[in-house]
Amino acid sequence: MKNILIIGATGQIGSELTMLLRKNYSGNVVAGYIPGAEPKGELKESGPSAIVDITNPQQIADAVSQYQVDTIYNLAALLSAVAENKPQLAWKIGLGGLFNTLEVAREKHCAVFTPSSIGSFGPGTPKDKTPQDTVQRPKTMYGVTKVSGELLSDYYFTRFGVDTRSVRFPGLISYVTPPGGGTTDYAVDIYYSAAKGEKFVCPIAEGTYMDMMYMPDALRAAVEIMEADPSKLVHRNSFNIASMSFEPNTIYQNIRKYLPEFEMQYQVDPLRQAIAESWPNSLDDTCAREEWGWKPEYDLDAMTQDMLAKLKERFGR
């Protein structure tokens, strides 16, 4: 039995991860949320929830004590494009919030998962098959918080023995949660437009490759890394994980296999394009495969078929 607290449970990853954890484990799986972003529907009805603002360490501690939490999934963060417009808030949530979480975990003996990102790399990083251990000098506040979070999480493991683990998520594509201001979110938007029968205006330039992953694989990675045998973990914070790498025209042409009338045009957003160009084209996830058996299940075509089917059903088309 596990007692788990998800901080940021109503966010892009949190809502789906909370439901998966409730399906997988007996015990309390607590949906932590901030006022104004309350759990709704099945997320609210299927298990306990608590107000947990990551900038308030007492709220974290209270939830951990009340529900006898042994594992914390810390998903609170501003996404890349949003963080560039609100850098002070991004730091407060991303690093200040992580520090609060790790302190509670140290005092109350919890394991902690805090996702990192391909955004933790920068323009000086090798772009193709980016190694597990390489240069990390990001040029965005989102990236700065992610690489700093990796270092802080490793510090709490080596200094205090807190069981910290993490993966570097690529762009995540989901039919459940709408896009939330990430640079890779065009790859979610394009499916929504296609399923609605609308022309898509792409903010990322043709030829811009980025690593992507279908949400079911990402959720499974977040669960599997926390279940991994700690004696086999050479790395902890944070593992490269990979599934597929593509550029806008690749995904467009794949969608047109199933919706030949679908149209796309380009209107490049300079901010998102600059962020995208500073990130890797593809990641080398050999260490994750060797140390805890990571393996993706979805490729681009399988994802496209599933996304279109699920979204068409939602939109009644």
How far CA 204 is from CA of 89, 109, 201, 227, 307, in Å, comes to: 25, 43, 9, 36, 20
Q: Is 191 a catalytic residue?
A: no
Choosing from 33, 142, 156, 214, which is the catalytic residue? Answer: 142
**Which amino acid, one-letter code, is at 108?**
K
Task: Quote the CA–CA distance of 6 and 30 in Å, as a whole number.
Answer: 6
Which of 93, 80, 131 shows the shortest CA–CA distance to 277?
80
Q: Is the backbone peptide bond immediately before 238 cis, with ω within 30 degrees of 0?
A: yes
Which of 4, 8, 41, 40 shows the shortest CA–CA distance to 22?
4
Residue 214 exposed, middle or buried by CB count within 10 Å (0-12, 13-18, 19+): buried
CA angle 237, 239, 240 (to 5 degrees): 140
Catalytic machinery residues: 142
